[in-house]
Structure 1
Amino acid sequence: MLAIAMILDAALGEPDWLWSRLTHPAVLLGRLVDWLDRGLNRGTARRAKGVAATALLVAVGWAVGATIAWLPDFGLLEIACAAILLAQRSLVDHVRDVADAMRRSTAEGRDAVARIVGRDTRDMDPPQIARAAIESGAENLSDGVIAPAFWFAVAGLPGMLAYKAVSTADSMIGYRTPRHEAFGWAAARLDDVLNWIPARLTAGLILLANGAIRHAHRVPNDARQHRSPNAGWPEAAIAPVLGVALAGPRSYDGEMRDFPWVNPTGRRDPGAAEIEHACSALWRAWGAGLMLAVLLAVLGLA
């Protein structure tokens, strides 16, 4: 079922004709997170309330997934739901859109990359735009494809939906801001735990699929330079594949922050061509993941 779902996602992506008429499950999860945030994130004991909210999100995701998996439809609905919750095609399309926009103008490149990153984009130069797009692609290969696929392999659709619920919560409330530092603590920490194995698996797939295993010894050290315990792994893997340096200084909320470089000996002036190469590398890593899913199916492990 996982292999079929991965192929369906790769072939169809996120068709506008469907999601212009129906509400995407990720949007429904987002609405639930927002409702919990508005209802519980107030007064005292906000961390405890955040723990309860996160537990509820996991329970809802698991219950919905278990109900769908229980239906006597020969797994067709389960496969369809899994395909919807994967994001390979849409991920690569959005990253490639940045390369296309950069070729037209720097201003259009900034507008395109602003749709997929949370950092300030107004004053980005072309290399900063390219680095942001490549980093987003690598990180979201882990968060949006390999991690949900991993949890489907481990615990079926219930595990996949529970993971997506936590991931959605982390993206909305898992920030160290005055409003969310306490309430979003549980979602952020649980997201770190659930992504620990998938992030490292993603790095391995990127290196393996792109003939870059010789760089494996460098990845752990570069990954530790990242502020996230997981996001640095796929970024540290794709950087030497492309021969570029990633991360480095960038601006958030008007403040320039001096983050260390990942693969610091790589080129620091990537452009649209490197984004295209990154898209190809992401597809090859996806292909390696698909082969792994097929192997697990043959062995009867998923």
Structure 2
Amino acid sequence: MALVLAMVLDAIFGEPKWLWDRIPHPAVLMGRVVAKLDAVLNNKTRRAGVLAVVVMVSGALVVGLVMAALPGIWAEVIVGAMLLAQRSLVQHVQKVADALRLSVSDGRGAVAMIVGRDVRAMDGPAVARGAIESAAENLSDGVIAPVFWFAVAGLPGLLAYKIVNTADSMIGYRTEKYAAFGWAAAKLDDVLNWVPARFTAFLIWYVADGRASWLDITRDAVLHRSPNAGWPEAAIAPALGVSLSGPRSYDGVREDFPWVNPEGRKDAGPNDVDAAIGLLWKSWAIAAAVAVGGAVGIALL
């Protein structure tokens, strides 16, 4: 029941700015932990990176167990709601659609807040594709994966997942500084997201009006540079009838990534971003229904 309530609270309230202007968000605190471990332990070896992951995961599990032991379920509900990101994801993606309707320049500014690629040379369709890709990928690792680990291992599982995911976003890069030290965080993040990414793809496929062939989704998913992010992206592209991914630039270097759903339209626009948001909510609703069914089943045992 704590999971269901956390999902509902997050969907209704999201991340209220008035609160997080006054106190640090749990994700911010996790980021500080990762930064401290980076500063103290990073000697550019895998062994140090493994130690950092052990420390951060152990700490998250202990904190989760302590909080879960508090009377009642409200500590789990409130912390769970803080660490889910459905409404905030929708709000960020919607800002891109709204900005793109004003101008391509406004769209670039909005999409720069949610993607890591170069945005200066993006045209309108590239901006829309970036928003849709971010929507699909973050539905997986910002909503469905936390829900999954909350369901599997309660608050300790959720906190452990979130700190690993945070670490991956901070140190899981193939740079000189992090190629070795961030290896353990990146690999563990891949493992923890393996099931949620495929379940997210299934949810998107299930709620889409015109369902693509699952074989086509599999075909495109495995072409992605990430073992997980390609799955929700490969599911949402045919659901919207557009092509995603494709060539883009990072730090001034052009990368010729293959197209996802190459037979789709290359002219994605703000209406497609709106449609993607609709799929996010439908997928969330199915996940919430599954969570309710699980809660009822446990109550009846």
TM-score by length of 1: 0.97
| 1:204-283 alignment, distance < 5 Å | 204-283=202-281
Residue aligned with 2:165, SS: helix
| 1:1-302 alignment, distance < 5 Å | 1-42=2-43, 46-72=45-71, 74-300=72-298
1:50-88 deviation line (CA, Å, top 9, x unaligned) = 00001111111111111110011x111111100110000
How large is the Cα RMSD of the aligned pairs?
Answer: 1.2
Residue aligned with 1:17, SS: helix
User: 1:29 corresponds to which letter in structure 2?
Assistant: M
Distance 1:250 1:216 in 2: 26
**Conserved 8 A contact 2:205-2:235:** yes
Runs of 5+ consecutive residues of structure 1 not aligned to the other structure: none
User: 2:200 corresponds to which letter in structure 1?
Assistant: T
Distance 2:179 2:215 in 1: 35
Distance 2:164 2:210 in 1: 32
Q: CA deviation at 1:209?
A: 1.8
TM-score by length of 2: 0.97
**Conserved 8 A contact 1:5-1:83:** yes
**Conserved 8 A contact 1:240-1:266:** yes
Query: Percentage identity across aligned positions?
Result: 59
Matched pairs, number? 299
1:231-271 deviation line (CA, Å, top 9, x unaligned) = 00000000011000000000001001100000000001101
Q: CA deviation at 1:295?
A: 1.1
User: 1:40 corresponds to which letter in structure 2?
Assistant: L
**Conserved 8 A contact 1:210-1:285:** no
Runs of 5+ consecutive residues of structure 2 not aligned to the other structure: none
Q: CA deviation at 1:15?
A: 0.4
**Conserved 8 A contact 2:212-2:239:** no
Distance 1:119 1:38 in 2: 26
Residue aligned with 1:251, SS: strand
